[in-house]
Copies of this chain bind each other. A is one copy, B any other.
Amino acid sequence: MKAGRHRTFDKDIALDQAMEVFWSNGYPGTSLSDLTNAMGINKPSLYSAFGNKEKLYQSALERYVQKHGVIHAKHLFAADKCLSERVQCYLTSIAEMLTDPKLPGGCFVCISTCEVGGTRIPTDALQVIFKINQQTKSFLTEFFNNELSAGNMASEPSPVIMANYILSLQFGLSVMARNGAKLAELNEVIKLSAVKF
């Protein structure tokens, strides 16, 4: 056991709470008071545990990807379904998260991506956002590449175009959820968009 007074809060739980605050309000819209209130800690504790506001934001983004992002990919690899069904399950899984009443609504990464453009997001955090989106696109491109190799789809549209299409859909569903769309509506959109895969 290390010497010194022990932390009286759970760092993981505090990070989850910070994530939800950033998710709700965005980066410039979130103040340190918002964060410390939600996390139930004081500012010095926040700074000693997470660095500063920007680093906490980056940590929150990474945590979001791990907790709410990567879990949907498994639907793309269900052995008993055809490609079209698997993609639909993938998107529906995302749509359920986007409209989960226990969560802030929409996709944290999508919201952060929309905040890119001005000078309000620090450069390092900006890189994190771009990196996450690039990873998603690369993952989807490789997925469709494999499906093409396996003979599960035609060579046109190309895997990279398919990846862009799915990414656009995810973003679109996210903003729709932020606008108050119900899960049933999102599923209709998914069903309608599924004619080509």
- The chain A residues found within 8 Å of chain B, CB to CB, are 23-30, 104-106, 110-111, 113-120, 130, 133, 157, 161-162, 164-165, 167-176, 178-181, 185, 188-189, 192-193, 195-196
| Cβ contact within 8 Å between B165 and A192 | yes
- Write out the residue numbers on chain B whose beta carbons fall within 8 Å of the beta carbon of A193: 165, 168, 193, 196
Instruction: Indicate if the CB atoms of B25 and A26 lie closer than 8 Å.
Output: no
In-complex Cβ contact of A25 among B118, B162, B181 (8 A): B118
Beyond A114-B110, A117-B25, A118-B29, whether A176 also contacts B168 by CB under 8 A is yes
What is the CA–CA distance of A97 and B142 in the complex, to the nearest angstrom? 30
- Most chain B CB within a 10 A radius of its CB, from A104, A120, A172: A172
- Which secondary structure characterizes the binding site on chain A? helix
How many copies of the polypeptide does the oligomer hold? 2
CB distance from A160 to the nearest CB of B (A): 9
- Chain B residues with Cβ under 8 A from A130's Cβ? 179-180
List residues of chain B with CB within 8 A of the CB of A173.
168, 172
CA distance A110 to B178 in the complex (A): 10
B189 touches A164 (CB 8 A): yes
Question: For residue A171, which residue of chain B has the nearest CB?
Answer: B175
24 of the cross-chain contacts (CB-CB < 8 Å) are: A25-B28, A25-B117, A26-B114, A28-B28, A104-B117, A114-B115, A117-B178, A130-B179, A161-B189, A161-B192, A164-B176, A164-B188, A164-B189, A165-B189, A165-B192, A167-B172, A168-B193, A169-B172, A170-B172, A171-B174, A174-B175, A192-B196, A195-B195, A195-B196
